[in-house]
Amino acid sequence: MKNIITLAFIFFFSISVEIQSKPTPVGKDDNFIVQVKSTVQYPNLIQPWRFKNPETRHSYGVIVGENLILTTAQTVYYHTNIEVQKFGSLKNYVAKMIKIDHDLGLALLKVEEKEFSTGLTPIQFGPEIFLASTGIVLEYKEFRNLSEKKVRTIKLDVDTYTNGYIELPFVEVQSDDKLEGIGELVVDEVSKIPQGILIYFKDSQNTGKMVPNFTINQFLNCNISKKCFSYKGFRFRPLTDASSRNFYGLKKENSGVLVAEIYPDSSASSSLKLEDILLEAGPYKIDPKGYFEHPKYGKILLSYIFHSEEDLGFGKDKKIPLKVLRNSKIINIDFEMKPFPESAIKIPFGNTRYRKPEYLILGGIIFLELSEHYLMEFGNQWRTRVSKQLLYLNDYHRINRIGEDKKIILLSQVLPIPGNQAYHSLQQVVLKKVNGKEPKDLKELFQIANSGEDSFLIMELDDGTGIVFEKEEVVNLNNEATKVFRIPKSHNLSE
């Protein structure tokens, strides 16, 4: 299948990083902060055989083990080179990425040179967050001295990081100082115990987000080859109005939320049903807006129960007892937690999850699988520049239905050569059928196009347009298109 450009970075290592999580105060003379600089080169999703111009990204890194550095994922996405600089040294050390979590937005790096660890003190994150307290943000720039800035931890909540798929715990912080939100370490002002990593800060509002210590520990201690966090597998709708509560048979003494969407192959797909009412999760009652009362931190969205892992003791590969109202009857469910099912995504959105684009050339015509990342390539005003049909699909059909496993294949553009002149005006049209079959993804499209059953390749588009080529003609047009537009020959369908 070398003819399809299938470039996706997946990190499967057989080792795990064992990092103990004991609360350790940070000493004044300890050296545990580094600077991370990476050269990145993002793919061009409109011309997926090309890359964009290289960029340089900067962030802070925290030493969490021997030659191990914790930093932000955005810094090393699509990296071609990663360099690390220690405080008080002018030498740049080459690092490699050994683990990344796309939903958490953190990455773990390693420097192979043994001398790198000289003078560095790994820190350890504790399990407890000190809320409504003052913290110290530690940072430095190049060879200058370390600086300390004040920050206030406000509350614990859940939300998606870096446009990920999973809502994960975060601590809302405030500061009157100018912060960057690129991996700065935050320590408690009194105890000097590390509290978390700052990954976002907006100066105009003086607020930001910090990844809490127990979530960091979950990432550091999980096996490199596996996903670190569980996902509840459903979306819910509040039940705050009396009419809805009465319709579903919810009694006055009960409260809960409506299961409105279930992700296929997820934790919820085998145990919950649409229009179930979730009343309790573990020992916690769910209120009509979807919140529960945390024993330490107050009201938090119910996703925290399923995704907090270390804090409440529920998490991946464990079971949570649920109390559910189904058809006006209360039932008890042992809800098994699983990681996020990537197969549930029909149209990728949010962050790219480090994927590089797949595409296929047929008769000099570029086909790819629709994603929000492709649509965003049309600039800041992309919603006004792309097909209304594609906008609708992106907004309302991102998730596969139960039992469905199908991508949306898009005719992106026609490379203008004489042999496909009749189709030069086509762009951004959904492919419906090929030789009477509906391919579920690019791989299946490739198989249909190369099967020996038909001498013609007949493609039907969603707008009613038909495209017809002889099979031999497709090979010649591909060769011509790759030569004229300098697409590497190894990417040619005929190779």
Band of pLDDT at residue 21, cut at 50, 70 and 90: very low
* Pair 11, 51: CB distance under 8 Å: no
pLDDT of 365 reads 97
pLDDT of 495 reads 45
Kind plus residue range of the DSSP H or E element containing 250: none
Mapped onto helix, strand or coil, the DSSP state of residue 362 is strand
- Indicate the DSSP class of residue 351: S
Q: What's the pTM?
A: 0.89
Those residues whose C-beta lies under 8 Å from the C-beta of residue 45, and which sit 6 or more positions away, are: 357, 368, 371, 373, 374, 377
**Mind listing the pLDDT tens digit for each residue in 179-221?**
999 999 999 999 999 999 999 999 999 999 999 999 999 999 9
The CA distance from 197 to 185, in Å, is: 5
Residue 481 has pLDDT above 90, yes or no: yes
Those residues whose C-beta lies under 8 Å from the C-beta of residue 28, and which sit 6 or more positions away, are: none
- Indicate the DSSP class of residue 214: H
160 Cα distance to chain centroid: 9
Of 44 and 8, the structure prediction assigns the larger pLDDT to 44
| List of E strands, 142-256 | 147-160, 167-174, 184-188, 194-202, 207-212, 230-231, 234-237
* Pair 153, 133: CB distance under 8 Å: yes
**Mind listing the pLDDT tens digit for each residue in 55-72?**
999 999 999 999 999 999
Q: Record the tokens describing residue 175, joined without a space.
A: 């500061």
Residue 19 has pLDDT above 60, yes or no: no
Any bridge partners for residue 430, and if so which? 410
**Mind listing the pLDDT tens digit for each residue in 397-440?**
999 988 888 999 999 999 999 999 999 999 999 999 999 999 99
pLDDT of 388 reads 93
Band of pLDDT at residue 89, cut at 50, 70 and 90: confident
Mean pLDDT score, 227-231: 90
Q: Long-range CB contacts (< 8 A, 24+ apart) of 108-111?
A: 108/17, 108/64, 108/68, 108/69, 108/70, 108/219, 108/220, 109/36, 109/61, 109/68, 109/69, 109/70, 109/71, 109/76, 109/82, 109/84, 110/67, 110/68, 110/69, 111/67, 111/69, 111/84
Mean pLDDT score, 136-145: 74
State how far the alpha carbon of 100 is from the alpha carbons of 198, 222, 384, in Å.
Answer: 17, 11, 34
What percent of the chain has a predicted confidence (pLDDT) above 70?
Answer: 92
What percent of the chain has a predicted confidence (pLDDT) above 90?
Answer: 76
From the list 28, 43, 27, the residue with the least C-alpha distance to 79 is: 43
From the list 256, 257, 263, 261, the residue with the least C-alpha distance to 237 is: 257
Band of pLDDT at residue 306, cut at 50, 70 and 90: very high
Arithmetic mean of pLDDT over the chain: 89
pLDDT of 25 reads 82
pLDDT of 451 reads 85
> What's the full length of the chain, in residues?
495
Domains and CATH numbers, the chain: 33-221 (2.40.10.120), 230-339 (2.30.42.10), 345-491 (3.20.190.20)
pLDDT of 28 reads 65
From the list 129, 214, 141, 131, the residue with the least C-alpha distance to 178 is: 141
Residue 251 has pLDDT above 90, yes or no: no
